[in-house]
Structure 1
């Protein structure tokens, strides 16, 4: 199998920059695949439905190795914490790449291709 067969994999040979750029491409591709078909409105609706069904204390179907189940509250809090960590990592990488710093995007900024309803307001 060659690199062209799996374009999401970093190159086996090449410079450090080639490998780092390939690794970033792999992460972007993986994120797109995992989030495929999900939009902000759909995700909000799924969380709202889960909360309405049993509230934050309901147990999720996943279990620890000892058989205990976490609550939806625990799962959501863990996801928020993990998302925050990765956002911080992306911030450090972006600053190292081109010097962009700051905690919030400029006023009026929207992600490329984002619909207005997918961008939370600051109001």
Structure 2
């Protein structure tokens, strides 16, 4: 597994550097929450009656990256990240999912999102039909979404193996 490095964004940067830096810091923290878990731990549901698993949350965040940046904002013709049975983006796990495959997919999707963000203005509007948000909104939304689910990952990780931290 590649080394996971978190870099705090500068506190006195411009808007783009601040927002993308915060999002990248949160993305790295997501990876750290799975780091060190066994397959069994990553796919366990340690907080009853919730069906949330650490791996399921990261898989959900991968789909959110694809949906907001690649599909809705950039208008790319990519596979829809959720099934017809779960069109609003739940946290399903497939039988062949592994921690490594989920982290690889997350890293790949985040890299594609970074490329899209770097190539466009924060004022650019989403390209998909019926979408009216700009890139600034998408980045802010992903910061909120990633941070919210990191709270879930904190709880699940502590319940799984007692590990606490940022």
TM range (shorter): 0.3 to 0.5
Larger Rg: 1
TM-score when scaled to structure 1?
0.47
Name whichever structure is richer in strand by fraction.
1
TM-score when scaled to structure 2?
0.36
